[in-house]
Amino acid sequence: MQLQPINRSEEEQIKVIIKYWIRLSNIKLGWINDFDKLIVNYVMFYSFMYLFIYTVFMLDTFRPSSKLIKTFYGHIDSVWSIDHSIFDDDQYICSGSADKTVRVWNVETNQQIQLFNGHSSYVYCVKFSQYHYHSHHRQNVICSSSDDNTIRFWDIKDNRQLELFNQHTESVCGIEFSSFNGGQYLCSGSADKTICLWDVETSKSLHIFNGHDRAVQCVDISPLQSNNNKSNSIGVIGGNGYTICSGSYDYTIRIWDIETTKQLTVFKGHESYVKSVKYGTNELGMIGGTNIILSGSIDKSIRLWDIRSGKQIQMFNGHTRGINCVEYSPFVIKNSSGISNVICSGSTDNTIRFWDIRSNNNELHLIRGNEKDGEEVYCLTFISLKKKGKNNEQKVNDNYCVNLCYGSNDGSIYFWG
């Protein structure tokens, strides 16, 4: 489905700025050791993030005409996790499943292009590594966490395992790369009740955060601080104000300071396992921005929390079974002055629901999954695409489209748009 994005001109402005910044810098290899590499890495990383973050769409346009447009088949058990990335101008998703495999798919050709089967048990989470792509000569790498207690890195092109992290003593559930330093750092949550912070470059554990009473199901790292003038280098731990958010089977959500390694806040309110947590973003104009945490729980509720006050500020009810995933959508609602204020949740009740963060009224929109008996929604992500013109050239003034991609317990991956 083709939609008209809002304030799209900023994207073109950034491209021009980046182009002339590099040209005027006139950087020569070796002028300052690795300085040219540093600029290219960060320009590429922020440009990639910009393409998704700054493209928003009208929910009122998507709502009446959205439909199932394609399905990826291959997994033979539940799809627990999906991630999306752009490599060499091509769109890809990766998926992790209870069938113990990690798979890679080309979104445009609808083809599975790679399969990794090195895990010995369920794969709970998968993430593309932007750090490897921009810091290791465009190396396409996926990171996966598993019930086999390990985190593994996979080279897509060479079809091999690159690295193995095995410090956790029980299942590794959620993983997330850092927003700063180009994604050099990774945090992981485990059934061993800990969160581990890793340096991807050195493959070393930097710190283990303790405090949860039961398994840590999900983690997130606070978004990039565009107004932070300090170095974002980890150093001993460092982080300069960045935090980790974790959700647990102990029903709590906790905030951890990366620099001091101390626990800052404990949110209590959910009445069952917390399955998904997400930081808000300033770029999408979310109310409260990065000070807001979005969470979903097996207690059937979606909640918003304010880090500054340490309190719950909103709760959304409507699902009839547990929540497995939550996301900030790229949608805005009509007459909202361009502020993105729509969140999304996926549930075991086989529905995906959209909510206005300013109101706890009934959902704005509902997508019902495949009508097979026992179907459940386990994970979801939004993919922002730009329509290609002749000879596969990206059209500067063409329309964008947005797809909702979700994984189910039957092993299928569905696209709505």
The domain of 389 spans 57-416
Reported as a pLDDT band with limits 50, 70 and 90, residue 19 is very low
Q: Quick one: pLDDT band at residue 93, thresholds 50, 70, 90?
A: very high
* Higher local confidence (pLDDT), 334 or 256: 256
- Residue 292 is predicted with a pLDDT of 93
pLDDT of residue 359: 81
User: Please, which pLDDT band fits residue 383 given cuts at 50, 70 and 90?
Assistant: very high
Q: What is the pLDDT of residues 172-207, one digit of tens each?
A: 999 999 999 999 999 999 999 999 999 999 999 999
Structural domain count, the chain: 1
Within a domain: 144: yes
Residue 2 in any domain: the answer is no
Tens digit of each residue's pLDDT (9 = 90 or more) over 287-315 = 567 899 999 999 999 999 999 999 999 99
User: Do the domain assignments include residue 43?
Assistant: no
pLDDT of 202 reads: 95
Does residue 225 sit within a domain?
yes
CATH number of domain containing 183 = 2.130.10.10
Q: pTM for this structure?
A: 0.83
What is the average pLDDT across 121-127?
Answer: 98
Residue 3 lies in a domain: no
Is the pLDDT reported for residue 35 higher than 80? Answer: no
| Strand partners for 197 | 187, 207
Residue 50: inside a domain: no
Tell me, yes or no, whether 9 lies in a domain: no
367 located within any domain? yes
